[in-house]
Chain A
Amino acid sequence: MAKRVMVVDDSRIQEVQIRKMLEGSGYEVVCYCRSGEDALAQYDGVKPDVVTMDIIMPGMDGLETAQAILEEYSDAKIIMVSSLAYDDTFEEAKSIGAKAFLSKPFDAEQLVAALDHATLG
């Protein structure tokens, strides 16, 4: 059975790309949220195996959203996804308990490796 992925990104392009990259990978996008607020509202009902979370979003940003989810669901597996790939952001993501950091742009191999790391590691 495919592992269930929640994608949180204000850009639907990211969701389209991730969905295509995951075809036949053993992972499946089961929920797409366009905002942090939407992700918080849907997380409990979806209970995904893993979440990919964009950082820069209008309203709650990805770091705030990830922190809020992890405060309530400490076993949540969240991968931060961003082009803001520098130490300061890595440290912030790590400090709130994110399992991995994926730098945009990424390819299917890098995405699956990050999902494997988050769910198996």
Chain B
Amino acid sequence: MDKTIPEEKLREELDRIIREVTESSAGIALTRGAAAPGKHICTVHIGFRKGFHSSLSLRADAALFARLAQSILREEHITAQDLEDVAKEYFNVLCGHIAAALYNSTHISARFSVPSFHWGNYSPKDHREQFVIRYSSGQDEAAELVHHVPVPQAGHEAGRT
């Protein structure tokens, strides 16, 4: 992706979309933060399968994912399965909006994998973190949106990421 869109422009788009989707999906207002998530974190991840070769993950305090689930399901009591399912669906929606924004900028039609969910941190193999955007929810919860790009193979020039 970084070969198609300048990194700063991509950061701006991702930042705008995560705020809008989180607010409209769950009524949670994210603001740019400095602190990393704490010890009890979860990660959701997708990889682009068509159009781009990069991937995105969102790692956040489990408490933030729990609040997302409570809001989206309109239920006070949620299970671990609820949290996982909501996190995947929320990230699916988020990445769909990102793909739409990228299409508007590049006219490249993107598709991405079904989101995977991980308790704890997760980093995709053969990718490196290109940049991280940190957020605070205003309730002592933090999140990080991470853009991963493929690690170039020795002797090969990386293609469009």
Interface residues of A (CB under 8 A from B): 10-14, 16-17, 20, 56-58, 82-89, 104-105
- The reply to whether B72 and A82 form a contact with Cβ atoms under 8 Å apart is no
* Given A13-B72, A13-B73, A105-B25, CB of A85 within 8 Å of CB of B96: yes
- Please name 20 further chain A to chain B contacts, defined as beta carbons within 8 Å, in addition to the given A12-B85, A86-B100, A86-B103, sorted by A numbering: A11-B88, A11-B89, A13-B73, A13-B85, A13-B86, A20-B74, A56-B96, A56-B112, A56-B114, A57-B114, A58-B114, A82-B96, A83-B99, A84-B100, A85-B96, A85-B97, A86-B99, A88-B109, A89-B109, A105-B93
User: Are A104 and B109 in touch, CB under 8 angstroms?
Assistant: no
Min CB–CB distance B67 → chain A (angstroms): 15
Q: Identify the interface centre among B24, B82, B89, B112: most chain A CB within 10 Å of its CB.
A: B89
| A16 and B114 contact, Cβ closer than 8 Å, known pairs A11-B88, A83-B96, A88-B103 | no
Which residues of chain B have C-beta atoms less than 8 A from A86's C-beta? 99-100, 103-104, 109
Would you call B95 an interface residue if the criterion is a C-beta within 8 Å of the partner chain's C-beta atoms? Answer: yes
SS class, residues of chain B in contact with chain A: helix
B55 at the interface (CB under 8 A from A): no
User: Which chain B residues numbered 86 to 122 have a C-beta less than 8 Å away from chain A?
Assistant: 86, 88-89, 92-97, 99-100, 103-104, 109, 111-112, 114
Residue of B nearest to A54 (CB): B92
Structural contact, B93 and A56, CB atoms closer than 8 A: no
Whether A85 and B114, one on each chain, are in contact in the complex, defined by CB atoms closer than 8 angstroms, is: no
Interface size on B, residues (CB 8 A): 25
Chain A residue numbers with a CB within 8 Å of B72 are 13, 17
Asked if A83 and B114 sit within 8 Å, CB to CB, the answer is no
**Contact assessment for B89 and A13 in the assembled complex, using a CB-CB cutoff below 8 Å:** yes
By a CB distance below 8 angstroms, the chain B residues around A88 are: 103, 109
Number of A-B contacts (CB under 8 A): 56
A-B contact pairs, 20 of them (CB 8 A): A11-B89, A13-B89, A17-B73, A20-B74, A57-B114, A58-B114, A83-B92, A83-B93, A83-B94, A84-B96, A85-B97, A85-B100, A86-B103, A86-B104, A86-B109, A87-B103, A88-B103, A104-B92, A104-B96, A105-B24
Q: Which residues of B contact A58 (CB under 8 A)?
A: 114
Closest B residue, CB atoms, query A92? B109
Give the shortest distance, in Å, between A31 (CB) and chain B (any CB): 19
User: Is the CB–CB distance between A83 and B85 below 8 Å?
Assistant: no
In Å, the complex CA distance between A17 and B25 comes to 11
Task: Name the A residues within 8 Å of B112 (CB-CB).
Answer: 56
Give the shortest distance, in Å, between A58 (CB) and chain B (any CB). Answer: 5
Residue from A17, A20, A85, A86 having most chain B Cβ neighbours under 10 A: A86
- Cross-chain contact of B111 among A12, A17, A56, A87 (Cβ < 8 A): A56
